[in-house]
Amino acid sequence: MTGRITDILRYPIKSHGREAVARVTLTEGQSLPWDRHWAVAHEASDADGSDWVPCRNFTRGAKVPGLQAMTAALDEADARVTLAHPELGQLRFRPDDEGARLIDWTRPLMPEGRAASDRVVRAEARAMTDSDFASVTLCNHSSHRAVSQKLGRELSIHRWRGNLWFDGLAPWEEFDWIDREVRIGSAVVIPRERTGRCLMTHANPETGARDADILGTLEAWGHRDFSVMAEVVKSGEIAVGDEIGRA
């Protein structure tokens, strides 16, 4: 059986905004183009972008829930990002040389007692995804609906901050894809591991307020996982509407 891609999402600045695109080219051994291309290192982090480091080195939605309500638009030609937030308005800037503007703009969202955002770093080695390998996250609408039904309310897909959303397959079928080839359009990926989830998912993507016990809901299935992180093993262009399924 095959499903179809419904959404392609990238996050140019890790934990700071989401952006939908219609098509992308996946490249063997790399993450989604421009995904987690920048990140905001906090004052307790030594991250400089020269190598991949774990997510705890960065300001992120698990610690700063207000960030979840942010959207992004990237101008690839000049590497300029426009961010929008319901409380902060808009900010258009170049992360490479105007990072201080982002730090100042997001300061009202920072909870007390947390390491403050300090600087914007650019990924020189590879995208700053949460996995220790270059990954693309695959999310199943059927699994998402199962979580919504268990919780008893409709949830936004943006709680999960995934890259590729597909529909038309059984709930949790993606967990059976681990270490098996999956074809998406003309590209092939291999899911390597399930995505363990954190408090980021508790924050509403419209308001930034924590309003749902997602982790407790997932535990009904005996885990705290949602989606799978995949390695691109064959390059190819993919687009919304393309088929996805076991190769």
SS (H, E, C) the chain: CEEEEEEEEECCECCCCCEEECEEEECCCCCCCCCCCEEEEECCCCCCCCCCCCHHHECCCCCCHHHHHCEEEEECCCCEEEEEECCCEEEEECCCCCHHHHHHHHHHHCCCCCCCEEEEEECCCCCCCCCCCCCEEEEEHHHHHHHHHHHCCCCCHHHCCCCEEEECCCCCHHHHHCCCCEEECCEEEEEEEEEECCHHHHECCCCCCECCCHHHHHHHHCCCEEEEEEEEEECEEEECCCEEEEC
Confidence category of residue 1, pLDDT binned at 50, 70, 90: confident
Q: Which one of 3.40.309.10, 1.10.3080.10, 2.20.25.650, 2.40.33.20 gives the CATH number of domain 2-31+131-246?
A: 2.40.33.20
State the Cα–Cα distance between residues 29 and 44, nearest whole angstrom. Answer: 30
Percent of the chain with pLDDT over 70: 100
Report the pLDDT averaged over residues 103-120.
96
Percent of the chain with pLDDT over 90: 98
Confidence category of residue 125, pLDDT binned at 50, 70, 90: confident
The string of pLDDT tens digits covering residues 186-225 is 999 999 999 999 999 999 999 999 999 999 999 999 999 9
The string of pLDDT tens digits covering residues 45-76 is 999 999 999 999 999 999 999 999 999 999 99
Domain with CATH 2.40.33.20 in the chain: 2-31+131-246
- Give the mean pLDDT of the chain: 97
Answer whether residue 233 shows pLDDT above 90: yes
The string of pLDDT tens digits covering residues 136-169 is 999 999 999 999 999 999 999 999 999 999 999 9
- Which pLDDT score is estimated for 203? 98
State the Cα–Cα distance between residues 225 and 93, nearest whole angstrom. Answer: 35
Fill in the amino acid letter for 18.
Answer: R
Cross-strand partners of 175: none
